[in-house]
A and B are shown apart, each in its own frame.
Chain A
């Protein structure tokens, strides 16, 4: 009982802990769900790139007194469309297109930033602070989560089909390239929102690690999404609690908790494979 009391005590006592818990649950759900597509469609590099290419948008918005979120969103969408356009009809391979957009946008951001006197304002944005989430942030995250998750649900069967068999999709009149653009836009929305709340590193981790963990544990798509969400939320709670109890950086603690859960899943799978390889052999006379 005392253990449980210890566990919930910080969340009962402090509003900022409740806010960050809610933020991590929302961001975790959002990132882990779309993250399953990111992992299955081998788009992990794009997620990572998107979280860096928003920099020029943020800096530009900061200089001009526009909403930073809006600046980041425009930069994120431009990156998504730029990657899609450069790699259309296989003129360039997608990873090459990503490499070009990633470095171009990031360098542009650094260049803009170097004209400013102080870098400190930007470090907060880039690395985020889940303990400093405001009510406005939460509202925004909630809205984006509803939009992205709603779109993923409504277009589930088309996204699923174009992910594993784009040729059949094309034969029956679907446009796999347009669905990919759509997914890139949803991904840009997700990444920009998540960065605002939890920073670049945590966003990349939340996109890839929970989904990768789930892919080790199940081979059904809807179940994979549920498991990924479970992993993300568990890691969020464990990380937040650890950061409170041991006074360590919250974002880093959450990422490490994610990696720990992935490690456990990996170990579990390796063990079960090892066992299933052994047992049938022994049962044969």
Chain B
């Protein structure tokens, strides 16, 4: 009886765990249209893209092209106006922990009094739900992910005392603690030094080999060939062919 009570979970939303549809890509988008928030003007028009499991897609375009809007729509933060968007073969929000979204740095209050370890623990909340406290297993997972991203020495630091690159890695550790499979990153390499950029690209390569799928908004074209498997070019909310002078490489397939 008491053990039954201990297993009761009050999830944050009606979404539950759902098995991925076998053989489906990590992300499948067809003719997707999305409105600007609280407006009836289109922010994205007829986007179509397919991202196989374990690959890395770069979203490329100038500011205001719709990169963030696309990421937020995949994360379930913005409603779809029309078109199809499937994540592991399921509609947005069908499985509560599948997608992790790493916003631009400015969207998190880094001065908040919380340690890196507790920040990573917030990745477990989706599995805990209301009123449940993390148990030994949750802390074990958190510490393992911190270790994996080379942050063990910094676990008890307040998050504002980390460098930009360490903050990105902390958010990646949280995405892993969440057991997410599709990880969305919004400008992870903006305003970080070259060394940090290299660390982040190495991590994405490593994690994609483990079957994690990445969609990354970036305007860093230099590393495109080495860091990504495919690229989607956006301009004013529309899909466009790669610009002249964009890296042409067998590994990076422009999607069109």
Residues of A at under 8 Å CB distance from B? Answer: 40, 89, 154-155, 157-158, 160-161, 163-165, 167-168, 170-174, 215, 218-221, 224
Contact of A164 among B11, B100, B101, B108 (CB under 8 A): B108
Least Cβ–Cβ distance between A48 and chain B, in angstroms: 21
Q: Is the CB of A173 within 8 A of B130?
A: no
Contacts of A172 in B (CB 8 A): 12, 96-97, 125-126, 178
Q: Mark out the residues of chain B between 87 and 102 whose CB falls within 8 Å of any chain A CB in the assembled complex.
A: 93, 96-97, 99-101
Q: Assess A173 versus B96: contact at CB under 8 Å? Given A167-B103, A168-B101, A218-B113.
A: yes
Q: Is the CB of A171 within 8 A of B108?
A: no
B201 at the interface (CB under 8 A from A): no
Q: Is the CB of B122 within 8 A of A168?
A: yes
Q: Is the CB of A221 within 8 A of B113?
A: yes
Q: Is the CB of A173 within 8 A of B113?
A: no
Contact of B77 among A154, A158, A170 (CB under 8 A): A170
Main secondary structure of the interface of A (DSSP, over half): helix
Contacts of A173 in B (CB 8 A): 11-13, 15, 93, 96, 126
Q: List 19 A-B contacts (CB under 8 A).
A: A40-B113, A154-B131, A155-B130, A157-B122, A157-B125, A158-B125, A160-B114, A160-B118, A165-B108, A165-B109, A167-B103, A167-B108, A168-B122, A168-B174, A171-B76, A174-B12, A174-B13, A221-B112, A221-B114
Q: Mark out the residues of chain B between 66 and 117 whose CB falls within 8 Å of any chain A CB in the assembled complex.
A: 75-77, 93, 96-97, 99-101, 103, 107-110, 112-115
Least Cβ–Cβ distance between A69 and chain B, in angstroms: 30
Q: Is the CB of A167 within 8 A of B122?
A: no
Contacts of A160 in B (CB 8 A): 114, 118
Least Cβ–Cβ distance between B188 and chain A, in angstroms: 15
Closest A-B pairs by Cβ, 3 of them: A173-B13, A164-B112, A173-B12
Contacts of B103 in A (CB 8 A): 167-168
Inter-chain CA distance A89–B36, complex, in Å, is 13
Main secondary structure of the interface of B (DSSP, over half): loop
Cross-chain pair count, CB within 8 angstroms: 72
Q: Mark out the residues of chain B between 159 and 190 whose CB falls within 8 Å of any chain A CB in the assembled complex.
A: 160, 174, 178
Given contacts A164-B108, A173-B13, A173-B93, 5 further A-B contacts (CB under 8 A): A163-B109, A173-B11, A173-B96, A218-B113, A220-B158
Size of chain B's interface in residues, with CB distance under 8 A?
Answer: 35
Least Cβ–Cβ distance between B211 and chain A, in angstroms: 21
Of all chain B residues, which has the CB nearest A165?
B108
Contacts of A164 in B (CB 8 A): 108-110, 112, 114
Interface centre among A154, A161, A218 (most CB of B within 10 A): A161
Least Cβ–Cβ distance between B126 and chain A, in angstroms: 4
Contacts of A174 in B (CB 8 A): 12-13, 125
Contacts of B131 in A (CB 8 A): 154
Q: Is the CB of A158 within 8 A of B130?
A: yes
Least Cβ–Cβ distance between B138 and chain A, in angstroms: 11
Q: Is the CB of A220 within 8 A of B108?
A: no
Least Cβ–Cβ distance between B210 and chain A, in angstroms: 21
Q: Assess A171 versus B100: contact at CB under 8 Å? Given A161-B122, A165-B109, A218-B113.
A: yes
Of all chain B residues, which has the CB nearest A172?
B126
Q: Is the CB of A171 within 8 A of B101?
A: yes
B38 at the interface (CB under 8 A from A): yes
Q: Assess A219 versus B99: contact at CB under 8 Å? Given A158-B130, A172-B126, A174-B12.
A: no
Of all chain A residues, which has the CB nearest B97?
A172
Least Cβ–Cβ distance between B255 and chain A, in angstroms: 25
Inter-chain CA distance A154–B125, complex, in Å, is 14
Of all chain B residues, which has the CB nearest A215?
B113
Contacts of B113 in A (CB 8 A): 40, 215, 218-221, 224
Contacts of B96 in A (CB 8 A): 172-173
Interface centre among A157, A172, A220, A221 (most CB of B within 10 A): A172
Least Cβ–Cβ distance between A137 and chain B, in angstroms: 32
Contact of B99 among A154, A161, A171, A224 (CB under 8 A): A171
Inter-chain CA distance A154–B76, complex, in Å, is 27
